[in-house]
Structure 1
Amino acid sequence: MAAATPKGQARRQLLAEAAGALLMKHGPDAVRHRAVAELAGLPLASTTYYFSSLTDLLAAAVERTCEIDAQEMTERCAALPAQSRDARDTAAALARVFVGEEPVSSQLAARYELFVLAARHPEFAEMISHRQDRVSEIAAEVLDKSRRHSAPAGVHKLIALENGALLESLAADGQTHGDPVSAVADAVVDVVDVLAPALPQMVGSSGN
């Protein structure tokens, strides 16, 4: 049901935020009416009042998760200085923006649970696709700031490598306690110059 009043909109937002928090911390199976209501501090009946079904509630959690993840990456990218970077520094910049300085494993794992949800629930696919488009835009901006080519094909391949390295790091983290930022940087450093070559230096440019 639509939240027509400001109070209703505020309650619906609280529930969506709670659903997103549960998804990011515990995965999609944790998004249940009672758990969402308890975390939001609202009556159980409010979840069925503002969300017509559990799928509708889960959709709000997916949307909220995508928003937070993209916003955090956007902020990290905005804080990145624009300067020429060699392959190693470019790989490190991509990894820091993609993963974060102090990554939370459960939040990172939620990214990949979203892919599975999209496969099982086609109604979520558009949200996940939009999130992926935003990630591509952010990665392209990192490359632009690093004075490198940012062609879509190269960006797509770099992101695929980042996803694979991060997922492997998350799967092994319980045994190796590895650094996901380093894992992602190591995965792309050898191909950065191929997929995102440095732009020609302007005559008289200092490179900064």
Structure 2
Amino acid sequence: MSSAATPKGERRRMALVEAAADLMLEGGFEAVRHRAVAQRAGLPLASTTYYFESLDDLIARAVELSGSREMEAMRARIDEITQADRDAAAVVELIIELLVGPIEGAAREHLIARYECFIASARHPQLQEVQRRLRIQFDDALGEVLRRSGRQVRQEGLRRLLCVVDGAVVGALSESDPDPKQLAREMLSEVIDIAAPPASENASEQ
């Protein structure tokens, strides 16, 4: 067994991933460098190249950890949502709360980091599979919110709703006085009954 696969090795590897994830949230991908990660983790500089094939490999693991943390928070919030038939406005607010959330302080940095990861995957092949897995989890989370709100869940509808939120957030964050939640609210309100109509409509058609 190599030292990288021992319990001590796994702890060190995880410490490096956590350090990289924290640096990424604080300063974006540019902040994730071998020396900075090692210092944050309290480990020798050589440990970053010992435990990971490359900096891209380390970044990919950090992105996955960050995404997993975000999904855990989303699932905890979903567990609090009761089963009820909700009108369009109420469903839109739940989606915004789940996918956008707070936009002040550290929460805003987390939101920016999420979309930086999306865009970076176009240039970093190692991130593409990570983002694919995270996107599936986002689909599942959104689908569960719709089901608990008495809405039809269709794959094309999920994709449309996610694209609307993604476009609204990225567009708003690029402006001088961004309000991602308001822009997402306005855009979702126009499509929610099309992308995820009430489940009762489907039953009445049968």
**TM-score (norm: length of structure 1):** 0.88
> What is the identity, as a one-letter code, of the residue corresponding to 1:119?
A
1:85 partner amino acid: R
Is 1:144 paired with 2:144?
Answer: no
Corresponding residue pairs, total: 198
Moved over 4 A (4+): none
The residue number in structure 2 matching 1:205 is none
The answer as to whether partners of 2:102 and 2:108 remain within 8 angstroms in 1 is no
Displacement after TM superposition at 1:76 (Å): 2.0
In the alignment, the residues of structure 1 paired with residue 48 and residue 13 of structure 2 have an alpha-carbon distance, to the nearest angstrom, of 8
Aligned residue for 2:8? Answer: 7
Q: State how far apart, in whole Å, the 2-side matches of 1:123 and 1:59 are.
A: 6
Task: Show the counterpart of 1:65.
Answer: 66
Equivalent pairs: percent with the same residue?
38
Gaps of 5+ in 1: 202-208
Q: What is the CA distance between 1:82 and its match in structure 2?
A: 2.1
Tell whether the 8 Å contact from 1:74 to 1:138 is kept in structure 2 after alignment.
yes
11-20 vs 52-61, which deviates more?
52-61
Q: Counterparts of 1:168 and 1:119 in 2: how far apart (Å)?
A: 18
Measured on the aligned residues, the alpha-carbon RMSD in Å equals 1.8
Q: Equivalent residue for 2:132?
A: 129
Q: CA deviation at 1:102?
A: 5.5
Read off the aligned partner of 1:65 and give its amino acid letter: S
Q: Secondary structure at 1:19's aligned position in 2?
A: helix
Most deviating of 98-107 and 76-85: 98-107
**C-alpha distance in 2 between matches for 1:106 and 1:92:** 21
For residue 183 of structure 1, what is the amino acid of its counterpart? Answer: L
1:70 offset after TM fit, Å? Answer: 2.0
Structure 1 range deviating more: 125-134 or 55-64: 55-64
C-alpha displacement at 1:99, in angstroms? Answer: 1.4
Match of 2:123 in 1: 120
CA shift, 1:62, in A, is 1.8
CA distance in 1 between counterparts of 2:143 and 2:131 reads 18
Name the structure 2 match of 1:38: 39
Deviates more, 1:185-194 or 1:72-81: 72-81
**Could you tell me how far apart the structure 1 residues matched to 2:29 and 2:73 are?**
21
Indicate the residue corresponding to 2:188 in structure 1.
188
**SS of match in other structure, 2:83:** coil
Secondary structure of the 2:144 match is helix
Q: Write the distance in 1 (CA, Å) between the matches of 2:135 and 2:161.
A: 13
Aligned twin of 2:200: 200
> What is the CA deviation profile of residues 133-166 of structure 1, one whole-angstrom value per residue up to 9, with x for unaligned ones?
1101111111001000011111110000010111
Distance in structure 2 (CA, Å) of the matches to 1:6 and 1:164: 43
Question: For the residues of structure 1 that align with 2:22 and 2:184, how far apart are their CA atoms?
Answer: 25
Q: Comparing 17-26 with 127-136, which one deviates more in the overlay?
A: 17-26
Query: Are the structure 2 counterparts of residues 37 and 108 from structure 1 closer, same or farther at C-alpha, using a change threshold of 3 Å?
Result: same
- Listed one character per residue, the Cα deviations across residues 56-85 of structure 1 (whole Å, up to 9, x for unaligned) are 211222221221222222222222222111
State the alpha-carbon separation in 2 of the partners of residues 22 and 30 from structure 1.
6
Q: TM-score, normalised by structure 2?
A: 0.89
Q: CA deviation at 1:39?
A: 1.2
**Does the 8 A contact of 2:56 with 2:126 survive in 1?**
no
| Contact 1:91 1:186 (8 Å CA) reproduced | no
AA matched with 1:199: A
3-state SS, counterpart of residue 24 of structure 1? helix
Tell me what 2:90 maps to: 89
